[in-house]
């Protein structure tokens, strides 16, 4: 099966997840389960999936509820759920995780997440540390702090006056549009994603990408951020779990990589011993779609291979 083909996965909450899978070429090293970012979808990871297949990894990815081709009760485009969005999203990730591990028993599973997907991935690891062997948290910002609390207040006001199921009028101005304006000599409002104009144009032409989340989805995203910054939840994760933290030195969504370093420092403070961090120079938000993507993908494949080999050795010695 090719990654561009879509399977459907039914969940206990009534969702019909649009899932993509592509098998490893040759000897099998492990599984990479991808979680995409906000206002995009899993098909945008086709090139990355094919690259990983060549390195011996099975790849799974699904469209989160409210995104792409996934259908779920109360979750039209731009909304996770009428309530409890965080838990519903994590349950969906769990359904794909269970499926992937059942198809490939004994293989290490690496949970990958980009941007919002990174928020989701860390929250999933904290909830289900026994179902993940390693995690890659890319371009995710858990350092919202006081400004994040202010944003939550704005969203509460919007919910009161506008409702939950309409796009936020304020948050896109504080995030996407502000990040776009921060690019010198910007060609489009989405140049903050990548220096590659072809990739930016493809994003803008994609009818399943680039829309504004609802007030409800924004509220859930901030729930992910603040849950992910809760040290009591992080304490549930084994200290020897391997983490791959990646950012771009010109990514406005992570304060030019500062938020990625903040997460690294927090993990090291709490005793995590296998944290690999890389902030790529001149790189914007979507490293996988940047002009230096071959280097970025190869660095990840090297890390994933080492993690998979270490995990397999651990299983053999157990």
Mind listing the pLDDT tens digit for each residue in 232-289?
999 999 999 999 999 999 999 999 999 999 999 999 999 999 999 999 999 999 999 9
Return the DSSP state at 4: T
Q: Is residue 84 domain-resident?
A: yes
| pLDDT higher than 80, residue 112 | yes
Using a pLDDT cut of 90, give the percent of the chain over it.
Answer: 95
Backbone angles phi, psi at 113, to 5 degrees: -145, 135
Q: Is residue 287 domain-resident?
A: yes
Mind listing the pLDDT tens digit for each residue in 29-74?
999 999 999 999 999 999 999 999 999 999 999 999 999 999 999 9
Average pLDDT over residues 214-218: 98
Residue 149 confidence class, pLDDT cut points 50, 70, 90: very high
| pLDDT higher than 70, residue 1 | no
How many domains does the chain contain in total? 1
pLDDT recorded at residue 44: 98
Return the DSSP state at 242: E
Residue with token string 């938000």: 285
Determine the Cα–Cα distance for residues 93 and 9; give it in Å rounded to an integer.
Answer: 11
Cβ atoms of 44 and 19 closer than 8 Å: no
pLDDT recorded at residue 267: 98
Q: Is residue 72 domain-resident?
A: yes
Q: Is residue 2 domain-resident?
A: no
pLDDT recorded at residue 126: 98
pLDDT recorded at residue 26: 87
The residue range of the domain holding 45 is 7-317
The HSE-up count of residue 70 (CA atoms within 13 Å, CB side) is: 38
- Residue 295 Cα distances to 65, 202, 281, angstroms: 31, 21, 12
Determine the Cα–Cα distance for residues 82 and 315; give it in Å rounded to an integer.
Answer: 42
Q: Is residue 1 domain-resident?
A: no
Task: Give me the residues paired with residue 279 across strands.
Answer: 247
pLDDT recorded at residue 313: 86
pLDDT recorded at residue 201: 98
State the Cα torsion 276-117-128-231 to the nearest 10°. Answer: 60
pLDDT recorded at residue 318: 65
- Indicate the average pLDDT of the chain: 96
pLDDT recorded at residue 317: 76
Q: Is residue 140 domain-resident?
A: yes
Q: Supply the pTM of this predicted model.
A: 0.97
**Higher pLDDT, residue 318 or 60:** 60
Burial of 214 (0-12, 13-18, 19+ CB in 10 A): buried
Residue 211 belongs to a domain with what CATH number? 3.40.50.1820
Residue 116 confidence class, pLDDT cut points 50, 70, 90: very high
Determine the Cα–Cα distance for residues 13 and 169; give it in Å rounded to an integer.
Answer: 30
Q: Which two tokens stand for residue 186?
A: 């910007």
| pLDDT higher than 80, residue 316 | no
Q: What angle do CA 37, 42, 47 make, to 5 degrees?
A: 105
């Amino acid at each position: 099966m090719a990654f561009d083909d879509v399977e459907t996965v039914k969940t206990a909450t009534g969702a019909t997840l649009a899932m993509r899978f592509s098998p490893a070429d040759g000897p099998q090293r492990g599984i990479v389960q991808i979680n995409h970012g906000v206002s995009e979808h899993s098909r945008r990871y086709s090139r990355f999936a094919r690259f990983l297949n060549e390195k011996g990894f099975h790849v799974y990815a699904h469209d989160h509820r409210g995104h792409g081709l996934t259908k779920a009760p109360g979750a039209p485009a731009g909304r996770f759920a009428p309530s409890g969005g965080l838990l519903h999203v994590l349950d969906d990730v769990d359904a794909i995780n269970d499926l992937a591990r059942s198809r490939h028993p004994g293989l290490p599973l690496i949970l990958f997440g980009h941007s919002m997907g990174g928020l989701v991935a860390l929250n999933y690891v904290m909830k289900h540390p026994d179902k993940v062997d390693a995690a890659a948290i890319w371009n995710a910002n858990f350092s919202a702090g006081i400004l994040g609390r202010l944003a939550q207040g704005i969203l509460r006001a919007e919910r009161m006056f506008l409702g939950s199921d309409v796009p936020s009028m304020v948050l896109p101005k504080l995030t996407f549009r502000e990040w776009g304006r921060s690019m010198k000599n910007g060609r489009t409002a989405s140049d903050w994603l990548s220096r590659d104009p072809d990739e930016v144009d493809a994003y803008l032409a994609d009818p399943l990408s680039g829309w504004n989340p609802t007030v409800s989805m924004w509220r859930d995203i901030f729930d992910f951020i603040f849950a992910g910054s809760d040290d009591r939840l992080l304490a549930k994760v084994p200290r020897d779990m391997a983490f791959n933290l990646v950012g771009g030195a010109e990514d406005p969504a992570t304060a030019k990589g500062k938020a990625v370093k903040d997460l690294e420092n927090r993990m090291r403070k709490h005793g995590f011993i296998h944290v690999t961090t890389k902030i790529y120079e001149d790189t914007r938000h979507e490293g996988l779609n940047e002009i230096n993507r071959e280097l970025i993908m190869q660095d990840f494949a090297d890390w994933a291979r080492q993690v998979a080999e270490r995990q397999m050795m651990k299983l053999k010695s157990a």
